[in-house]
Amino acid sequence: MLFHTFTVRCNMVVNALLTTFLCTVALPILLFLLAVKLWEIYTLRCRDPTCPFPLPPGSMGLPFIGETLQLLLQRKTFLRMKREKYGYIYRTHLFGNRTVRVTGADNVKQILLGEHRLVSAQWPASVRAILGTETLSNVHGAQHKTKKKVSYFDLSAEGALATGRVCLSNTRMKRLMFRIAMRVLLGFEPEQVQTDEHELVEAFEEMIKNLFSLPIDVPFSGLYRGLKARNFIHSKIEENIKKKVQESDQEWKPRDALQQLIDSSNKNKEPISMQAIKQSATELLFGGHETTASTATSLVMFLGLNPKVVDKLRQELQDEVKLVHRDCF
């Protein structure tokens, strides 16, 4: 009788432990594997039904997150492992987007030569959200050509010259280029540049830092901070746009890039799209900030290494100044 009772109790304990194991370990694992499989099926069913070609090998990672965390944590190791496992072309899911990663010189060459014919370029969702959908980098075809013509403008050599201390630091050069962009591209008055520069530079750097982030707009996320910084920049640009529109009746006004965008809307007899102009102006800052500052820093460095070239440039500038002054009298 005692043995029978002991056996029953042992069976009850074993059953309880087995049930606990199934509920706390096995069931969550099965549900997780099921979720991953359903996510894989869902993403594959989202493929273009008009394309007859098969998808390249690969995996889509975790639901919604994809393989973004692995890329951020492993970086080069992740890319190397993927290439070794799947080859030079494979599918994955990064930063909220289904992605086919193409590597290898021959493969990349076909992609680059087939732009607007085989493929079209598109920034990640976070970049499109921060810069805007009406920017030059986010439109294609005829709309891209039109916006590209509008964004181009001439600057006289005399107006582009600036005097001041030579800064070899790339950080200081970025600040200098940003001040020039505020004046030349966006038409900020000198007093505006002095008062708003610090806040605008901080907002711009915050926006750039969070361009490539997870496309999740929740408080304290990268996209949230990037959008907040962009909205501050847009508010300052909007103030300038309204000021320029009010002064449009004047006979003469500076021809900066922002004025060019406003005039383009007026020529087409279309209502001024405040949002489109703000997005285009922000893109001008984004497109010219890093590259121009880097080029200017390299220019200063190479001029310092070639004093003969500096002397020649000084002589040419002096001759140009004399010629300009002679034409004025």
pLDDT tens per residue across span 279-317 = 888 888 877 677 788 888 888 888 888 989 989 988 988
Nearest to 256 by CA among 235, 234, 230, 284: 284
User: How long, in residues, is the chain?
Assistant: 329
Q: Binning pLDDT at 50, 70 and 90, where does residue 81 land?
A: very high
Query: Alpha carbon of 70 to those of 81, 103, 125: distances in Å?
Result: 11, 19, 19
What is the reported pLDDT for 168?
47
CB proximity list for 122: less than 8 A, separation 6 or greater: 128, 138
Q: What is the pLDDT of residue 148?
A: 59
Q: Which pLDDT value is given to residue 217? A: 84
Percent of the chain with pLDDT over 70: 75
Structure confidence at residue 230 (pLDDT): 92
* pLDDT score of 77: 92
**pLDDT (0 to 100) of residue 87:** 92
For residue 177, the model assigns a pLDDT of 84
pLDDT of residue 15: 67
CA distance 158 to 311: 19
For the stretch 108-161, pLDDT in tens is 888 888 877 777 777 777 777 887 776 666 665 666 566 555 554 444 434 444
Torsional sign, CA 254, 181, 237, 139: positive
CATH superfamily of 131-162+177-292: Cytochrome P450 (1.10.630.10)
What type of residue sits at position 25? V
Task: For 187-215, give the DSSP string.
Answer: ---HHHHHHHHHHHHHHHHHHHHTSSS-S
Look at residues 240, 313, 246, 314 and name the one whose alpha carbon lies nearest to residue 277.
Answer: 240
| Residue 277, pLDDT score | 85
Instruction: Provide the pLDDT for residue 163.
Output: 42
pLDDT over 80 (residue 231): yes
Instruction: Assess whether pLDDT exceeds 70 at residue 56.
Output: yes
Average pLDDT, the chain: 78
Token pair 């050069």 is at which residue?
A: 173
Kindly state the tokens that stand for 225: 């901070």
Ordered by start, the domain boundaries in the chain are 1-46, 51-119, 131-162+177-292
Alpha-helical (H) ranges within the chain are 2-21, 27-45, 68-74, 76-86, 105-113, 125-131, 141-151, 157-160, 170-184, 190-209, 222-246, 257-267, 274-305, 307-327
Residue in 170, 225, 242, 232 with CA at minimum distance from that of residue 201: 232
- Work out the pLDDT band at 166, boundaries 50, 70, 90: very low
Between the two ends of the chain, the Cα-to-Cα distance in Å is 126
